Amino acid sequence: MTGRVLACLECGAPLLVCVQARGFCDARCRAAWNNRRKLRGAELYDLYMAHRWERAEAAGLGVFQAINRLASEYRAEDRAQREGRRSWRRPGDVLAERPYLKSIKTQVRGGR
């Protein structure tokens, strides 16, 4: 059985992946990864929803700038605490799990 050497997404320790990559060396690393994403995601969720659905107020408050600043702070934390390893999933992986996100929504109007 052949495999390729990858690193744990959380701690960076090498892992041997043969069939399907889970990305983590143990449950502790997986939990730490997901807990960080939950915490960061909660902050971004509220700001992004306001940016999308309460545009005038969000623009007045500079919400999009705040979203970008948070992302920059998260990346700086990654560089300082995670030896520069990224703390997010690849967009292609996320979209592959949810192909409907790339579909075009059509609307039917007045029985046409």
- What would the pLDDT profile of 42-80 be if each residue is shown by its tens digit? 999 999 999 999 999 999 999 999 999 999 999 999 999
Tell me whether residue 11 is in a domain. Answer: yes
User: What is the rounded radius of gyration, in angstroms, for the C-alpha atoms of the chain?
Assistant: 19
Residue 48 lies in a domain: yes
Number of domains in the chain: 1
Q: Kindly state whether residue 16 falls inside one of the protein's structural domains.
A: yes
Has residue 10 been placed in a domain?
A: yes
Per-residue pLDDT of 96-106, as tens digits, reads 999 998 887 76
95 in any annotated domain: no
**Residue 55 belongs to what domain range?**
4-83
Q: Does 91 reside within a domain?
A: no
Higher-pLDDT residue of 16 and 90 is: 90
Residue 108 pLDDT: 62
Does 65 reside within a domain? yes
Assigned domain for 96 exists: no
19 falls in which pLDDT band (50, 70, 90)? very low
